[in-house]
Structure 1
Amino acid sequence: MNGSAFGPGEAGSLGLSGLQNLGNTCFMNSALQCLAHTPKLVDYFLEDYGKEINHDNPLGMNGEIALAFGELLRKLWAPGAGPVAPRAFKSKLARFAPQFSGFNQHDSQELLAFLLDGLHEDLNRVKRKPYIEAKDADDRPDAEVADEYWHNHLARNDSIIVDVCQGQYKSTLVCPICRKVSVTFDPFMYLSLPLPSTMMRTMTLTVVNNGINGITQLSPYTISVPKNGKLQDLTRAIGIACSLGVDETLLVAEAYNNMIIRFLEDPSDSLSLIRDADKLVAYRFMKDNRDGPFLVFTNQHMEKKQTDGKSTPNLKAFGVPIVSKYCNMTNGSDLRDLYLKLLNSFQISTEQSLENLDLSNKTERMAEMEGTESPHLSSSMNTVDSSSEGGLEFYITDEKGIVKDSKISMNEPLSINQDLRLLHVLVYWSDKQIQQFDSQLFSPLPEVYKSGFLAKKPQESASLYKCLETFLQEEPLGPEDMWYCPGCKKHRQASKKLDLWRLPEILVIHLKRFQYSRYVKNKLETYVDFPVDNLDLSAYISHKNGKTYQYMLYAISNHYGSMGGGHYTAFVHHGGDQWYDFDDSNVHPISKDKIKSSAAYVLFYRRVVEG
């Protein structure tokens, strides 16, 4: 529409001009409308700003970006202006920032970052930047060091952008080895806040509780861990979830096709190595049982496989692999007894007590005939026919469960190398045996994360304050972002903590909706609940200085749709409680209660209270 609902020349229509879409330039239009309604910035460019153009700044663009922006802003604020075609500005932008040339869709926040920096350098009042060597904090008071950093920054950077948009945060790095602490105070132009959901990952594991009388339960637990965390974060979270005792420990393993394919034991291993489709089992042991070899039992049974219309028998692994400590075993009977004891709690009770007694007598008679001792099994375990005829059979195998040429005899000594860390045993089950146990033992293990393709995922939500808290929490630097520790004289994966120290008059907050990695590119549709009339940051500023820090929202850059496409618009506050929707050429009023949505991408706040 032409300007707005107001007639040409009416005072209320000033600044309500749209920007024509020149071909996928909605990202640019959205960012420009937010800046074109930024207090003090508007007044600055509507007055004589030309005298502050810095033509000699090697970091600037000879003032051309500032001039192009100023001319465009004046057109937007001209009385009775209709939609403006920003061709001249786009041409200058493409010349100095080739990444924005052409007519592909781009990111409004990336354009804002370039533009704020470019305007600053083009309007920098400092003609010759002095060389200043940063001094170490040396245990001096934070306030003294922060002021020193800020004055050094202003000695090289002085513009309307610094005046209005720049703040300062405290950055603390701690070496994990020598505990050297490094504190710096750095300027910022905007805050890029992670969405809490992007920092955490939901994972489901099955905990196998090896009790005194065998496995007492198989319990799935769903936990939240840092997405960039390590195995120690996972074991800590699962330990809390299952109330792990101080004298207990967990052995985490990955299972595939009902077999253990690896144990996860290095606490520093990255959780990114674990995929959503993986299946994890955590075996719970007493701490004194961690030393020495472990027995890894893999269950197998015969199933009918259809091939070319013919039914052929096929051995297949099934159920939950069982891990136990190898101790005090002399022969095959000891190994079988241990295994049956572990499965005791899963055995289906029977009222056929006479059969139980007969089987018990039969077992004792067989033991006497073989010249061995009777197995020390409870009466309930004696219901299992553990003889080779229709019963359990045990085989020494390799870690892949393929080799099965070493059958374990019940009455022969076990010749096992005590230095061996893992002993893999295949347990062959008959159909009769399987029917005597609870089906939970044979149920499929859950995946680490099962995404619902049919059920619609509930929309995630978070408060802006929660996003800020996530941004400010201490976290380790990534392996690709190592810090050179002056104490160790080596690169270390230090922990980093940010604190807000000095807040600007105009606070720009970027919500990190777009995720980029080597394998994944996606957009997060998390709904962020942000304050409109009173964003109070008093509790988040480290250096209070007697001031209050309350802000009012005045503009939003929105992104609708998916990665690599979608559409950008801007919502702008324009007097009273009236908001306007700037959608390229079209500008129309929008209700205040409609401005919050999961499309909000960049938020613009102005300070309203000074202490």
Structure 2
Amino acid sequence: MNSIIQCLSGTIPLARYFISGTYKNHINGKNPLGTGGVLAKSFAELLSVMWNDNYNFISPVTFRKSLIKFAPQFSGTEQQDSQEFLNFLLDGLHEDVNTVIRRPSPTLESPEEEAAFEKLPDWKASGIAWEKYLARNASLIVTLFQGQYRSRLRCLSCNTTSTTYNTFMSLSLPIPAKRSGPPSVSLFQCLDYFVKEEVLEKDNAWNCPTCKKRRRATKSLTLSRLPDVLLIHLKRFSFDGPFRDKLETMITYPLKGLDLSGYVPSTMTDPSQERPSFNYDLYAVSNHYGSLTGGHYTACVRNKYRDQWHNFDDTRFSVCDEDKVMSRAAYNLFYVRSTVR
């Protein structure tokens, strides 16, 4: 909890939103998926105390009580996964400040509508899917953290395609290495592995709507929209049959100038609009040390006002050398678009 909260506290646009009290204008007390604002209020109070110079340390007892009332899975003392905690917390905050009061009922598209959607330019199809999502989900959490990727199936017999656009809060990247694999891989290799085209065949063959039978098909993922704050989860915990393992592979990642423009095709940008920047700077890392059964989390967070990296290790705080920010323990990476202030 400490590791993730320190990283979120270092997310300046988010901290500003809660500490200033702006969030109060957006509390949705009628949302059955939210907490009636209880979680948002306790999170805002926690950040306010953390950013107050009057305290050397704090114990987030009130915040934890608010949290476990709605997420009893975090009530014990056993180790939890920081990625799950991060996603739950952001989802809970989103539902508390989701400004959509009445969500439109989901509608099923006819085969004709689906066929027409397939023929749209990428940027238009992506935009329509995003607007549909915003009709049900509108909050600062969505604005800051949520992106979109395109998943496309293509029949290898008749070339029929089926395309869906999905939102994500964080990119969960597989690590292309086994225990006996290379000592280190780059973040770009993880991204390449994530978007690598896959062939579906035999038991996984696609039921092609044109051929009216199961066919060999390709499945490809493409990033279609990237958020201002990009969360990257490195999938260190692998599941190989009945065995669970932790990959200690060193992942190399840039601290500044992560360029993702090569992963968002130019067809995803409206030709009449200027293409956004896809350059990102690292500002926080949540680290996991140890094994599956017992481990320890720390955080490295950049204080942009002092231009220093700070290390948070439960009861210990220290200034961290920049060359120590990258380590084998990196589990969640927090990047911000270079143009965001």
Fold-level similarity (TM above 0.5): yes
Letter in 2 for 1:142: D
1:68 aligns with 2:50: no
CA contact (8 A) 1:577 1:592 kept: no
Deviations 1:506-547 (A, max 9, x none): 000000000124411010001010000111111211135523
Deviations 1:538-592 (A, max 9, x none): 1211135523311110000000111121110000001254100011122110100
- How far the C-alpha of 1:505 sits from its partner, in A, is 0.4
Letter in 2 for 1:603: L
- Structure number with bigger Rg: 1
Letter in 2 for 1:573: R
Counterpart of 1:145? Answer: 125
Mapped to 1, the partners of 2:42 and 2:200 lie a distance apart of 40
Mapped to 1, the partners of 2:49 and 2:42 lie a distance apart of 11
Counterpart of 2:333? Answer: 603
1:521 aligns with 2:244: yes
User: CA distance change for structure 1 residues 480 and 458 in 2, over 3 Å: closer, same or farther?
Assistant: closer
Counterpart of 1:158? Answer: 138
Counterpart of 2:324? Answer: 594
CA contact (8 A) 2:118 2:161 kept: no
Letter in 2 for 1:515: S
Report SS of the residue matched to 2:166: strand
Greater CA drift, 524-533 or 126-135: 126-135
User: CA distance change for structure 1 residues 459 and 167 in 2, over 3 Å: closer, same or farther?
Assistant: same
CA contact (8 A) 2:149 2:222 kept: yes
- How far the C-alpha of 1:138 sits from its partner, in A, is 3.3
Mapped to 1, the partners of 2:73 and 2:216 lie a distance apart of 32
- How far the C-alpha of 1:195 sits from its partner, in A, is 0.7
CA contact (8 A) 2:157 2:216 kept: no
Counterpart of 1:266? Answer: none
Mapped to 2, the partners of 1:163 and 1:127 lie a distance apart of 17
Mapped to 1, the partners of 2:126 and 2:174 lie a distance apart of 25
Mapped to 1, the partners of 2:191 and 2:43 lie a distance apart of 31
Equivalent positions of 1:227-376 (< 5 A) are none
Counterpart of 2:4? Answer: 31
Counterpart of 1:184? Answer: 164
User: CA distance change for structure 1 residues 487 and 114 in 2, over 3 Å: closer, same or farther?
Assistant: farther
Counterpart of 2:97? Answer: 123
Q: Work out which of the residue numbers 571, 577, 582 in structure 1 matches 2:312.
A: 582
Equivalent positions of 1:100-111 (< 5 A) are 100-111=74-85
Mapped to 2, the partners of 1:154 and 1:127 lie a distance apart of 12
- How far the C-alpha of 1:488 sits from its partner, in A, is 5.1
Counterpart of 2:295? Answer: 566
CA contact (8 A) 1:168 1:502 kept: yes
Equivalent positions of 1:424-439 (< 5 A) are none
- How far the C-alpha of 1:465 sits from its partner, in A, is 0.9
1:171 aligns with 2:151: yes
Letter in 1 for 2:57: P
- How far the C-alpha of 1:177 sits from its partner, in A, is 5.6
Counterpart of 2:176? Answer: 196
Q: Structure 2: any 5+ residue segments left out of the alignment?
A: none
Aligned residues: 326
Letter in 2 for 1:507: L
Mapped to 1, the partners of 2:184 and 2:148 lie a distance apart of 28
Counterpart of 1:42? Answer: 15
Counterpart of 1:91? Answer: 65
Report SS of the residue matched to 2:312: strand
Deviations 1:62-121 (A, max 9, x none): 222222222211121112222211122222222222222211001101111111111111
Report SS of the residue matched to 1:196: coil
Report SS of the residue matched to 2:3: helix
1:57 aligns with 2:37: no
Report SS of the residue matched to 1:168: strand
**TM-score when scaled to structure 1?**
0.51
User: CA distance change for structure 1 residues 551 and 485 in 2, over 3 Å: closer, same or farther?
Assistant: same
User: CA distance change for structure 1 residues 481 and 160 in 2, over 3 Å: closer, same or farther?
Assistant: farther
Counterpart of 2:195? Answer: 472
CA contact (8 A) 1:132 1:152 kept: no
Mapped to 1, the partners of 2:318 and 2:35 lie a distance apart of 35
Letter in 1 for 2:301: V
Mapped to 1, the partners of 2:207 and 2:188 lie a distance apart of 32
Mapped to 2, the partners of 1:516 and 1:479 lie a distance apart of 23
Counterpart of 2:55? Answer: 81
Letter in 2 for 1:556: V
Mapped to 1, the partners of 2:40 and 2:204 lie a distance apart of 34
Counterpart of 1:315? Answer: none
Deviations 1:161-212 (A, max 9, x none): 01111111111112456543111222111101111115xxxxxxxxxxxxxx
Mapped to 1, the partners of 2:209 and 2:194 lie a distance apart of 26
Letter in 2 for 1:77: W
- How far the C-alpha of 1:491 sits from its partner, in A, is 6.8
CA contact (8 A) 2:43 2:63 kept: yes
CA contact (8 A) 2:118 2:162 kept: no
Greater CA drift, 72-81 or 482-491: 482-491
CA contact (8 A) 1:549 1:609 kept: no
User: CA distance change for structure 1 residues 188 and 481 in 2, over 3 Å: closer, same or farther?
Assistant: farther
Q: Work out which of the residue numbers 489, 492, 496 in structure 1 matches 2:219.
A: 496
Identical columns (%)? 47
- How far the C-alpha of 1:495 sits from its partner, in A, is 3.1
Q: Structure 1: any 5+ residue segments left out of the alignment?
A: 1-27, 199-450, 452-456
Greater CA drift, 138-147 or 457-466: 457-466
Counterpart of 2:264? Answer: 541
**TM-score when scaled to structure 2?**
0.88
- Greater helix share, structure number: 2
Equivalent positions of 1:388-399 (< 5 A) are none
Report SS of the residue matched to 2:338: strand
Greater CA drift, 163-172 or 93-102: 93-102
- How far the C-alpha of 1:609 sits from its partner, in A, is 3.2
CA contact (8 A) 1:554 1:572 kept: yes
Counterpart of 1:462? Answer: 185
Counterpart of 2:283? Answer: 554
